[in-house]
């Protein structure tokens, strides 16, 4: 598959990415493992090379990046190893041990790195897919203020598209996202949001489900994989709505559909990054009806059929704001009816 962000072949369909997943981050018999204290500086400006199998322990990869950032003036010899930044594994999943990384399996998020070092890291560190410069804000849409101007991080080098893996009773779900445009939400042990969705779907599943703040589409696509016949995914932020549509295509073989029609390109959508009136981004043909919209969730009564009585997940960003959550649930029920919950 062609990557929508960089145009290369760095993305795969769900069956392709899952094929070698059980052993992807495991060492071979020849792999070495040096554990470094992340709270201290690198003892010496040196690092081990990848094993003959092509993998390298994650601490050694960080040592390599540390040396480059120190040489380029982004770090000093007194900075701890953790100052390099935050690693985002590709594909991401719950792990019970530190990984041995193959090529192009890590995106670095860093507030310290600058472009020269980032370009060297992508060129010289084989495990790195891309380097993203972070800032003191969260990328994307984080409130329901229609006048908000979302901010994004800066991709300095490489490609920042990566996937997370979510287990379902029907099999794993693969969710891609462009990490400089969408906030980090790494899979959590126990997958509480997925459990919440499965509980509200019931057995047999409800006929109509709405993922009203879809992000990259995890909850809506999970509902579709679990057998809901009509699913709507929606997000007001262009990157979230686009990746929801893209992930529908990535996972289409697990759904009861014939074809996914992507109706808008990411290049068109970025021109209006936040919109209020729902615009259809993608739709399916086949026995399952799955639709993706970009728009304000409070306007979805314009596309949800009357008397549909949907079950809706409203996965707001700030769950600590109980008042906002309660108001959104009440407004949703007044406009759309059915059942709504915050996962």
Instruction: Tell me: pLDDT of 61 over 80.
Output: yes
Residues ≥6 apart with Cβ < 8 Å to 56: 31, 48, 49, 50, 100, 101, 127
Instruction: Tell me: pLDDT of 177 over 90.
Output: yes
pLDDT in the model for residue 143:
74
Please name the helix (run of DSSP H) or strand (run of DSSP E) that holds residue 142, with its range, or none. Answer: none
Backbone angles phi, psi at 266, to 5 degrees: -65, -30
CB 60 within 8 A of CB 38: no
pLDDT in the model for residue 47:
98
pLDDT in the model for residue 269:
96
The yes or no reply on domain 190-341 and CATH 3.40.50.150 is yes
Instruction: Tell me: pLDDT of 189 over 80.
Output: no
pLDDT in the model for residue 202:
95
pLDDT in the model for residue 36:
98
pLDDT in the model for residue 73:
98
Q: Tokens 């985002």 label which residue? A: 88
CA 306 to chain centre: 32
Model confidence over 279-295: pLDDT tens digits? 999 999 999 999 999 99
pTM for the model stands at 0.94
Instruction: Tell me: pLDDT of 146 over 70.
Output: no
CA–CA distance, 107 with 86 (Å, rounded to integer): 8
- Token pair for 124: 């010289």
**Pairing between strand 208-211 and 311-313?**
parallel
Q: What is the mean pLDDT of residues 225-244?
A: 97
Q: What is the mean pLDDT of residues 314-328?
A: 82
CB 85 within 8 A of CB 61: no
Residues ≥6 apart with Cβ < 8 Å to 81: 36, 37, 38, 39, 40, 41, 42, 59, 62, 63, 66
Model confidence over 134-143: pLDDT tens digits? 999 999 888 7
Q: Check residues 58 and 150 and name the one with the higher pLDDT.
A: 58
For every residue of 87-128, DSSP letters joined together read EEESSB---SSPPEE-TT-EEEEESS--HHHHHHHHHH-TTE
* Domain range annotation of the chain: 14-158, 190-341
Closest CA to 107 of 131, 125, 135, 138: 131
């Amino acid at each position: 598959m062609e990557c929508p962000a960089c145009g290369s072949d760095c993305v795969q369909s769900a069956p392709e990415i899952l094929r070698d997943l059980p052993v992807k981050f495991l060492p071979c018999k020849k792999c070495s493992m040096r554990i470094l204290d992340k709270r201290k500086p690198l003892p010496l400006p040196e690092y081990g090379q990848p094993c003959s199998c092509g993998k390298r322990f994650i601490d050694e990869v960080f040592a390599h990046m540390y040396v480059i950032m120190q040489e380029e003036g982004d770090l000093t010899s007194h900075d701890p190893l953790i100052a390099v930044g935050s690693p985002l594994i590709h594909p991401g999943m719950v792990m019970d041990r530190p990984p041995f990384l193959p090529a192009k399996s890590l995106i670095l998020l860093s507030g310290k790195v600058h472009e020269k070092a980032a370009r060297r890291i992508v060129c010289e560190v084989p495990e790195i897919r891309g380097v993203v410069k972070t800032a003191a804000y969260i990328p994307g849409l984080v409130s329901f203020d229609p006048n908000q101007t979302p901010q994004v991080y800066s991709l300095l080098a490489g490609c920042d598209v990566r996937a997370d893996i979510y287990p379902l009773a029907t099999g794993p779900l693969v969710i891609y996202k462009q990490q400089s445009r969408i906030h980090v939400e790494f899979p959590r042990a126990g997958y509480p949001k997925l459990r919440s969705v499965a509980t509200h779907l019931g057995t047999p599943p409800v006929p109509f489900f709405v993922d009203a703040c879809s992000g990259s589409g995890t909850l809506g696509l999970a509902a579709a994989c679990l057998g809901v016949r009509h699913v709507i995914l929606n997000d007001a932020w262009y990157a979230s709505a686009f990746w929801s549509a893209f992930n529908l295509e990535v996972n289409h073989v697990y759904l009861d559909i014939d074809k996914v029609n992507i109706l808008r390109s990411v290049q068109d959508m970025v021109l209006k990054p936040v919109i209020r009136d729902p615009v259809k981004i993608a739709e399916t043909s086949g026995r399952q009806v799955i639709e993706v919209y970009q728009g304000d969730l409070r306007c979805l009564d314009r596309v949800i059929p009357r008397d549909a009585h949907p079950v809706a997940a409203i996965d707001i960003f700030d769950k600590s704001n109980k008042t906002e959550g309660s108001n959104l649930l009440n407004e949703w029920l007044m406009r759309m009816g059915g059942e709504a919950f915050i996962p």
